[in-house]
Amino acid sequence: MSAVDPNAHPHVLSLLRGISLFAGLGEEALDQIAGRVVTRQFSARATVFRRGEPCAGLFVVIRGRVRVYRANAAGREQVLHEQGPGEALAEVPLFDGGPYPAHARAMEDSELIFLPRDAFRALYRSEPEIADAVIGELGRRLRRAVRLIEKISLREVPARVGLTLLEYADARARTPTEAFILPVTQTELAEALATTRESVARALGTLRTEGFIEQEGARVRIVDPEGLEDRCYGL
């Protein structure tokens, strides 16, 4: 990890203007933030923070991708979420004062903005737009967590995979039956669904055999979205 000179003010201001969390702020507030943040570079696989460490401040992804995950004693990981450009990390401990509840690791060469905890707390107290933006992001994060729990609670791996494909189609395709490219590898999908890569491969094969999806490599098309949803929930 390396830090960039925080006095590179024009560069930082330009980055801040492109982040949804700060989109509602005026030039004066942005200028205040720019004077307090640093940009940090993380190489692929580098640790951003570890579970249990005191929360030092807010991270926002500018470039790259960061995975937030938990790991058991055997080293098996459960992916909680991944954040890309414009998305924030570690908002919850900023508010409750607790340590980081999970690990975070750069999945590729990444650039992040870092705002110290004290500066962030002063900012959201003086700028209601920041508080609103953070609350909105926490709400979206909670919804993702509920969906993740719902998927993992399904005993059949094909059902977990099927629901995830429906989510990808909703986010990446213009229509429910339009083909899309899987944004993750089978290994990454397995880590997110608390299973193995082999189980994910078998599940995709099952869904193809049952006629719910068509697949060529990473290209997937859901043939029968309503039927797939019913199949996943056992209806």
For residue range 169-221, list pLDDT tens digits in order: 888 888 888 999 998 889 888 888 878 899 999 999 999 999 999 999 999 99
60 plus 169 within the same structural domain: no
Q: Are 133 and 24 in contact (CB under 8 A)?
A: yes
Domain holding 49: CATH number?
Answer: 2.60.120.10
The pLDDT-based confidence of 70 (bands split at 50, 70, 90) is: confident
The pLDDT value recorded for residue 199 is 92
Q: Of the given ranges (32-41, 67-76, 185-194), which has the lowest mean pLDDT?
A: 67-76
131 plus 171 within the same structural domain: no
Residues with Cβ < 8 Å from 82, sequence gap 6 or more? 65, 66, 67, 68, 107
46 plus 125 within the same structural domain: yes
Nearest residue to 110 (alpha-carbon basis) of 45, 51, 191, 174: 45
Looking at every residue in the chain, the average pLDDT score rounds to 82
Cα first-last separation, the chain: 49
The pLDDT value recorded for residue 3 is 46
81 plus 191 within the same structural domain: no
Q: Are 159 and 232 in contact (CB under 8 A)?
A: yes
Look up the domain containing 112 and give its range: 2-152
**Residue 152 CA to its chain's centroid (Å):** 17
| Count of domains for the chain | 2
Residue 105 has pLDDT above 50, yes or no: yes
Last residue of a domain, one of 98, 129, 152: 152
As given in the structure block, the two tokens for residue 209 are 């055999």
109 plus 162 within the same structural domain: no
DSSP 22: G
